[in-house]
Structure 1
Amino acid sequence: MNNFRDKTVVITGAGSGMGRAYALEFAKLGARLALNDYDAAALAETRALLKDVPDLRVLLGAFDVSDRAAMEHFAAEVQTTLGNAHVVINNAGIEGSGRPMWATPLATFERVMRINFYGVLHGSQVFLPQLLANGEGALVNVSSVFGLIGTPSNSDYCASKFAVRGFTEALMVELQGSPISVHLVHPGGINTNITRAEHTQAFKKKYLSTPPEEIVRHVIQGIRRRQPRIVYGKDSFKIWLGSKLLPLRWLNPIVWHDMGGVLDARDYPASRALNSTDRSQG
């Protein structure tokens, strides 16, 4: 798909960050927009930023993507109001606990999986019939570079993003030869507000620096080129390369060393202290 004018583009998580950047960019390209976010106020802010785009048609849906019934209702509204979806970007996601597995409650694992994985599943299943009915379409599922490698204090988030990766790679094969292009996005350190917890701010400061507008433009080019895997953002290339070339017995210590400075040593047993008394006291 090369031309997005008068095409219906569905974007989840459009209240901020990459989702908002997708909305602004596709609006410039003349698309009709169906925007979702669980935060109605943030979604309204995105809509306000689009007020100067002439003749723009926008549908807003404030709901949690883990709610299957709400997603089905949204898809029906999209079809009635804007016509069948042509592009679906399953972008909505939340951070994990920022703690190691043994310090993360089961309820947190379940919540992260419901939004980060099942939200992608719901968006894919509900809108795929509309894409197929058009005889063309693009399905974009957002994983992470943490869907390429495992990282400490991110077992819940990694699990959800690896699930998105496996699901989407399988879907690519299932839709092989169809008019639907499937794209798996692995953002690197994108500067968004996904890291909200106080104890994850050191991670944000060190790693999240790529403007969301950059990756959005890159993904749109990837759609035009029917590029299946899209890896972009701070440190993304070296992470992708490491995941491809290095055995885990080498890769895991490298990851531990690189991320040690943003972990709270109090979360880890004494046998795995981070070699810094300052950090253990911080």
Structure 2
Amino acid sequence: MKSLNGKVVVVTGAGSGMGRAYALEAVRRGARVALNDVDPGDLAETVRLCAPAQVLARVFDVSSIADFTAFAEAVAAELGPADVVINNAGVEGEGQPFWATSEESFERVMGIDFWGVVNGTRAFLPQLLDGDPGYLVNVSSLFGLIGPPNHSDYSSAKFAVRGFSECLAAELMDTPVRVYTLHPGGVDTNITRSQATQAFRGKYLKTSPEDVVRLVFNRLGSSRTRIVYGNRAASTWLGARLLPQRLMNRLVSVDMKSILDRSAYPASAWLAARRPDGEA
């Protein structure tokens, strides 16, 4: 979709990275934008960069369905019904093997990366159904296609986004709403903020957010609703489709071995700590 003149585009996680890139590209194409982020300072900077376009901005956590519903009501009242909704907000996990990953991390990542997508869909779907057409973009990840080591919390959420989006797309087949699932590869954003994931960032996050965003907007209206793009994306997608699971697991593990913190490995050490005293 080359032009977004007269359209209302909703973007979550718009304070930085791909979210900011979506906002700026939507404005460049003529849209009015409704933006969310949990960080008021980052969101204010995105709003400033979008000037002089018409912008509605709200600070809230996307894991809250009540806040999301209030946001959707404000968008309809102030800008008009949404034409494009991009459920982009996301956070990283702890970057540790499963046995060293806290329950709190699973809850936090699922709350934002998965439930944020569900909440955004639930809040805005009535508006999209009234459009002709309406476009919903749910952001999964390359890690919604493969399960890499040290990312069980993050990958679980992104696989859930993929499953949810594919079910929803089938359910909405005979409606004016088209559902797109985005699986970006290594995109150079600030999602990797913890010390544990800096080596991962340096090795894999190479693709510019602007390249991904332009592709997504250009794809709207297309029947090609699975979008796989970015560093390592094509080869990973082919491997996930064509290779036996165990072989793909081995290749991914070998590729990532040099950047993993080995202090929490091997799993046998974790298991040994839970054996009865004296057991060999």
- Secondary structure in 1 matching 2:199: helix
Which string of whole-angstrom CA distances, capped at 9 and with x for unpartnered residues, describes residues 111-160 of structure 1?
Answer: 10000000000000110000111232100000000000000000000000
**1:80-229 equivalence runs, <5 A:** 80-229=77-226
Tell me the CA shift for residue 110 of structure 1. Answer: 0.7
Consecutive unaligned residues in structure 2, runs of 5 or more: 270-280
Match of residue 44 from structure 1 = 44
Cα distance in 2 for residues equivalent to 1:134 and 1:255: 42
Cα distance in 1 for residues equivalent to 2:158 and 2:181: 11
Cα distance in 1 for residues equivalent to 2:209 and 2:21: 6
Match of residue 65 from structure 2 = 68
Letter in 2 for 1:10: V
Match of residue 29 from structure 1 = 29
The answer to whether the 8 A contact 1:94-1:115 is kept is yes
**Count of matched residue pairs:** 269
The answer to whether the 8 A contact 1:85-1:127 is kept is yes
Cα distance in 1 for residues equivalent to 2:48 and 2:63: 26
- Report percent identity of matched pairs: 55
Of 241, 246, 249 in structure 2, the residue corresponding to residue 249 of structure 1 is: 246
Tell me the TM-score normalized by structure 2.
Answer: 0.94
The answer to whether the 8 A contact 1:183-1:226 is kept is no
Tell me the CA shift for residue 226 of structure 1. Answer: 3.6
Tell me the CA shift for residue 162 of structure 1. Answer: 0.1
Match of residue 10 from structure 1 = 10
Tell me the CA shift for residue 2 of structure 1. Answer: 5.8
- Secondary structure in 2 matching 1:36: strand
Q: Does 224-233 or 188-197 show the bigger shift? A: 224-233
Which string of whole-angstrom CA distances, capped at 9 and with x for unpartnered residues, describes residues 220-256 of structure 1?
Answer: 1111324210000000001100000001121111000
The answer to whether the 8 A contact 1:2-1:224 is kept is no
Letter in 1 for 2:160: A
Tell me the TM-score normalized by structure 1.
Answer: 0.93
